[in-house]
Structure 1
Amino acid sequence: MTDRTALRVADLPQNAPTPFDLRPDAGALEYLREQLHLVGLRKVRFFGDIRARGKRDWVLSGQLGATVLQPCVVTLDPVTTRIDTTVRRVYLANWHEPDEAETEMPEDDETEALGAEIDPWSVMEEALALALPLYPRKEGAGLGDAVFTEPGKQAITDDDAKPFAGLAGLRDVLKKDE
């Protein structure tokens, strides 16, 4: 499978895995780049298979690889990151949506409801979005110290603002008096 077609569950063989191998073309890469707000995206490949688990449930297992360019959170220079991750989704026929107003998220975030189709392309998009670094930083990039104050006054540094900095100074004074 090399296109964006979702697979109908009714057409999947029960006794053999159904392989998929997604390698987005230039147009699809541009679409993904825009959707994920990336500077660049290349070498995307998502491959694996879908297989039956029991009589009614299905498991999608795959490997996602991509090279992404994102702006550095400090300098806005492009930062290149290689993503290589294992992806797994379990589709359950007897999935029940929580009906309470507030519900804790289950630890198993791979499980979802089984619909009429399983869409490896959508899984690839979601897995890529989740694998992106939240705060990409160029090597060696740092914010440094920023000091602001009124003219003629001594600036307060980060060390001065620490809650126990004054206690340490008091401790030192008391030791000298002993």
Structure 2
Amino acid sequence: MARQSDSPNARSDRLRLSVLPGSAPTAFALQPDAETRHALAEELGLAKLPKLRFEGRLHPEGRGDWRLEGELGATVVQPCAVTLEPVTTRIDVPVIRRYLADWQEPAPGTEIEMPEDDTAEPAPEVVDLAAVMAEALSLAIPDFPRAEGAALGEQAATPPGAAPIAEEETKPFAGLAALRARLEDDD
């Protein structure tokens, strides 16, 4: 799958929390090979994924909690959302996850608010670093990449003999604002 860190603590992309040292961070470094990058590029709908690395540390916190702090670096190639030309984007983003041993799932049907801390999740038996890397990459890639100078043109579709509708005419509240201004002027 990947070149791993030389650290004796990071021998795999799957780290079993119960066997990690509870007093020191565990370093990790993933750099997937070409075959793995190609498979991930296909899964994410990318044209190419020439570079990808994910490295960081898994820190013990308190009794059974863990904090993953990492850095994701990637170069992705996607089709331009306007022209379909290849667009290359460099991604360098921090990745933070908190694995909590005392995680409480809400009861089914319970209405809950979105938590402020979106990095927290239940502590798994095994942290799958490749899955964390893939998720972080999928969240970081641009939704609608654009080639330099690519712009959406304006189109108008009207029946023969009809006048095209101007953009201002599609904004009904702009007309109401003008009417209100005229009524206030009359007062």
TM-score, reference length from structure 1: 0.88
Residues 173, 7 of structure 1: alpha-carbon distance in 2 compared, 3 angstrom cutoff: closer
Q: Is the 8 A contact 2:49 2:74 kept in 1?
A: yes
1:25 alignment counterpart:
33
Q: Distance in 2 between matches of 1:168 and 1:97?
A: 49
Unaligned stretches of 5+ in structure 1? none
In structure 2, which of residues 153, 162, 175 is the aligned counterpart of residue 153 of structure 1? 162
* Contact 2:77-2:89 within 8 A present in 1 as well: yes
Q: Is the 8 A contact 1:72 1:135 kept in 2?
A: yes
- Provide the rounded CA distance (Å) in 1 between the counterparts of 2:174 and 2:105: 51
The yes-or-no answer on 1:77 pairing with 2:85 is: yes
| Cα distance, 1:37 vs structure 2 | 0.7
Q: Which amino acid aligns with 1:129?
A: S
Q: How does 1:3-42 map to 2 (within 5 A)?
A: 5-42=13-50
Consecutive unaligned residues in structure 2, runs of 5 or more: 5-10
Q: What is the aligned partner in structure 1 of residue 8 from structure 2?
A: none
Letter in 1 for 2:126: E
Aligned Cα RMSD in Å?
A: 2.3
Distance of 1:171 and 1:116 partners within structure 2: 64
1:127-146 map, 5 Å: 127-146=136-155
Partner letter of residue 12 of structure 1? L
Contact 2:100 2:120 (C-alpha < 8 Å) held by counterparts:
yes
> Shift in Å at residue 172 of structure 1?
9.9
Distance 1:55 1:170 in 2: 65
Checking the alignment, whether the CA contact within 8 Å between 1:4 and 1:121 is kept in structure 2 is no
Q: Per-residue deviation at 1:105?
A: 2.1
- In 2, distance between residues paired with 1:158 and 1:12? 61
CA distance in 1: counterparts of 2:182 and 2:161, whole angstroms: 28
Secondary structure (helix, strand or coil) at the match of 1:23 reads: strand
Contact 1:159/1:165 (8 A) holds in 2 = yes
- Whole-Å separation in 2 of the counterparts to 1:173 and 1:97: 57
Matched with 1:58 is 66
**Residue type of the alignment partner of 2:170:** A
